[in-house]
Amino acid sequence: MDPNTVISIVVPLDQDSALLESLVTGLDETLGSSFRFFEIVLVDDGSTDGTTTAVQPLLKRIQRIRYLRLSRRFGRDVAISAGIESAIGDYVVTLDPRTDPVSIIPAMIEACRKSGGIVHGVADNVPSRSFLRERIGHFFRSYCRKHLGVDLQRGAADFRVMSRQAVNALLQIREQSRYLRVLTLTLGYHHEFFHYTLEPRPGTDSSRSWRGETATAIDLLAANTRHPLRVVTVAGLLGAFLNLIYAVYVVAIYFLKPTVAAGWTTLSLQLSGMFFFVCLILAVLSEYVGTILGEVRSRPLYFIAQESNSSVLLEDTVQSSIVKESIG
């Protein structure tokens, strides 16, 4: 039983009153046997299924529960962020109440203690979806690896243990886009992947529609990388260049060929001229939009992982305070 470390468990609740009692009791028992000080932070994301009433008897019976109710439904990532912002622990654990097993939490905390940084839970038994969706998912993750610099793993969701150092860094990011699966990876620090098996609680459904996933993916890319904008810039410049070539070609035809349809030259020049300008303007605008994105972002440019100083003794370096001249 660890008497010194304080642990916070953040649980987002979205119409989850049915599993509340078993989850909280399970957390209390598992953590109570390993840690003397811990808190269970329940963040109610605007549930309308009587979660508030269901939590009252638990508040009376079990110590160290904190119940935060958001004013309306804000979404899972915002709810988890609210919990993290309020958590006091040396280690902050976040989990999905519908699928994540409570029993392995002490082991994950131990792994985080050894490595510092963040331990991401990676589920080995995520149910497979259609071949096409799996391929797209795989492509998306490799794109993110290349252009966002984040190592998204299949099966990594919200089951995570963050050290206080990583949490403090996360708190400094005040952006609106709060995709924690990516944000936590962009912080830097040491990342570890802890494999586990999902244990879906009975009566819950946690599948997500492809429409929702696609929307999330697009939002994520727009908020975190300028690569698509760069592609637009390049395409714009290329288009402008091709239009220029085409204009030259049109003029050449006009001078070289004897029979050209009436009005073709003017029309073609006008078209290519307009498209040239449009492509150029798009290219320039996309660069500026990219710059705006970078400026509007309100996160620190860097986070410090460690600071060490020389331990040279002053006595060894200062020889004497005698000076030989009064002016330098």
Cα–Cα distance measured from residue 77 to residue 14, given in angstroms and rounded to the nearest whole number: 12
Comparison of 41 and 148: residue with beta carbon closer to other proteins: 41
Comparison of 66 and 129: residue with beta carbon closer to other proteins: 66
Comparison of 87 and 152: residue with beta carbon closer to other proteins: 87
Comparison of 256 and 301: residue with beta carbon closer to other proteins: 301
Min dist CB 91 to other proteins, Å, is: 11
Comparison of 172 and 214: residue with beta carbon closer to other proteins: 172
Min dist CB 89 to other proteins, Å, is: 7
Rounded to 10 degrees, what is the CA torsion of 57, 58, 62, 64? Answer: -120
Min dist CB 190 to other proteins, Å, is: 21
> How far apart, in Å, are the Cα atoms of 137 and each of 76, 142, 146?
21, 9, 14
**For residue 41, what are the contacts with CB-CB under 8 A and spacing of at least 6?**
8, 9, 10, 11, 66, 68, 83, 86, 87
Would you call 206 helix, strand, or coil by DSSP? coil
**Sequence-ordered alpha helix ranges (H) in 90-198:** 105-115, 131-147, 164-171, 180-186
What letter represents residue 131's amino acid? F
Which residues sit at the interface with other proteins, rule CB under 8 A? 4, 6, 36-37, 39, 85-86, 88-90, 168, 171-172
Comparison of 88 and 251: residue with beta carbon closer to other proteins: 88
Min dist CB 219 to other proteins, Å, is: 24
Which 8-state DSSP code applies to residue 249?
Answer: H
**Which residues are registered as beta bridge partners of 161?**
93, 119
Q: Is 116 left (phi over 0), alpha (psi -120 to 50) or beta?
A: left
Min dist CB 171 to other proteins, Å, is: 4
Closest by Cα among 275, 250, 243 to 265: 250
Min dist CB 81 to other proteins, Å, is: 10
Is the Cβ–Cβ distance between 93 and 9 less than 8 Å?
Answer: yes
Comparison of 57 and 300: residue with beta carbon closer to other proteins: 300
Comparison of 171 and 284: residue with beta carbon closer to other proteins: 171
Length reported for the chain: 328
Rounded to 10 degrees, what is the CA torsion of 152, 153, 154, 155? Answer: -110
Is the Cβ–Cβ distance between 147 and 117 less than 8 Å?
Answer: no
Is the Cβ–Cβ distance between 74 and 99 less than 8 Å?
Answer: no
Min dist CB 139 to other proteins, Å, is: 36
Min dist CB 88 to other proteins, Å, is: 4
